[in-house]
Structure 1
Amino acid sequence: MTAPAIDVRGLVKVYGNRTVVDHVDLTIMPGRVCGFLGPNGSGKTTTLRMICGLLTPDGGEGTCLGHDIIRESAAVKAQAGYMTQRFGLYEDLTIRENLEFVGRLYRLRNLRRIVDEALARLGLATRQHQLTGALSGGWKQRLALAACVLHQPKLLLLDEPTAGVDPKARRAFWDEIHALAAQGITVLVSTHYMDEAERCHEIAYIAYGRLMARGTAEEIIAGSGLSALLATGPGADRLAPQLRDVPGITAAAAFGTTLHACGPDLAALWQAVAPWRNGGLRWQEAEPTLEDVFIHLMGQAHDNALEPA
């Protein structure tokens, strides 16, 4: 059997009295796209950095690309591409100059050919002499991805790569991600977008340092134990604030002009919405969405930022 690209167990990272990553296990096979989701401050970035050897764990162990993440971190870093949340290339260099600079850091041979191929693959060739600082967010994103894959890594770690990018650019980016995965590259990508999570082969949901759900989108929804009711009619989308604190309801959110109310017990859910079943609203059972599940899980998690320093 093929060995996992990522196989880590019990990862722990502590800053002061705060445990920002709390015994996280994660196994990802080669060529898979895994979405890494969770609220801000949940330890996603810290976990990514421990996996690729940029941070040393305070506890736990594991391998990445067959190398020990602690003892062989240099070997891991040489075969991984890491795209940070913030754009990290030089804005006063051109697109081509930035890629050539990265290529020299990796001591790549045939650098001109490699850069030419990267420019063509990501549609940057016609802009290669443009200053990076003048690029829009979508074009900067393409350049950052080109820099990450210039040395032909076996693993891509992408930290919220599409934040602030328009939908068309996001779709083009994800098409490229799946093309890279088809070549055998493993991708671990953190995101807040539910549509992006659903494009991943599998999902890992972390909340305040703890891994709370793992599997495909369908498996996570099925394993949540949630029931959902859909309300339609005049003012349905305005009910969420009134319903969120009602016993039996763990999540309530507007979806356009409709409303989703969720809870772990269907009978209790129907009872909870009883006062709002008249007045022109129509209620019916529905399938919980991935967003419903994540809001529910977030409500169950303990925010470790509230712990005393």
Structure 2
Amino acid sequence: MGTVEIRELECFLVLADELHFGRTGERLYVSQGRVSQLIRALEQRIGARLVERTSRRVRLTPLGETFLSDLRPAYDTLRAAVDQARAAALGGRGPLRIGFQGVAGHEFMDVVREFEERCPGCDTRMTELPLSDPFGPVHRDEVDIAVVLLPVQEPDLVLGPVFSRQPQYLAVSRRHPFAGRTALDAEELADAPLIGLGAPAPDYWRDVQAPTRTPSGAPVPRGPVVGTLQEGLSLVAADRGVMLLCLPTTQYHHRRDVAYVPVAGLPESALGLVWHGARENARVRAFAEAVADDLVRFGL
């Protein structure tokens, strides 16, 4: 085992199930090329071919079949040992209050479910955070850990894994001239009032979510200020302003009266996991580790 990477073994096990490099990549949230790279590395470490691949099919070699039958029970035992140790480190049952902004997507919920399986004594509780108050619930000890939009410049909070980097979209009313467009340039934000987010979110954070100037420095007209996502979408539908949103949020909030148009020239949005440094505990650390291990596979 000295030089064998656990990621290579995991990749081989999934490929043995799927017998398809593309589907294996989808399950592992990596590219098909990365799957090939991991399999080649494992074969080089072992010194023989484990997989035969043609233009029509993928199958295990006889050695690959033997390796699979030996590896699977050993891997399951290793995984169980890690899970039991993690559960013991958590010290039995206890809650983990997880806050999230906007949408807790299915990828994130997959991580929550996997964490619950690894740590059956930990009771997770999901809480939606106000869009205009990303850090307050963490500061006030209303949640133990939170998924928030970047940036984070709070001296008392710890920023953990950063993930889900996504392009930005502009939400506009179906009656708005932009609604028929297939794409926009960031400079065109100067042509429509941009809905902003209110207090208590800090100014530096609000300025990123609703910039006051285009990349070239042109002023962006100020639209209404809202506290929640639904307030913002309602004002967009009423053609009171436009609103910047990340791609996953647009996918989860389909409305017949709102159109979503990609905006070129803006930095990608990103999510980060944060918690209060003075209240960090074993459950928080275990969940942050789960996010780092699993979400990074598709947030990247």
Q: State the TM-score, normalizing by the size of structure 1.
A: 0.26
Larger-gyration structure (1/2):
2
| Structure (1/2) with the larger helix percentage | 2
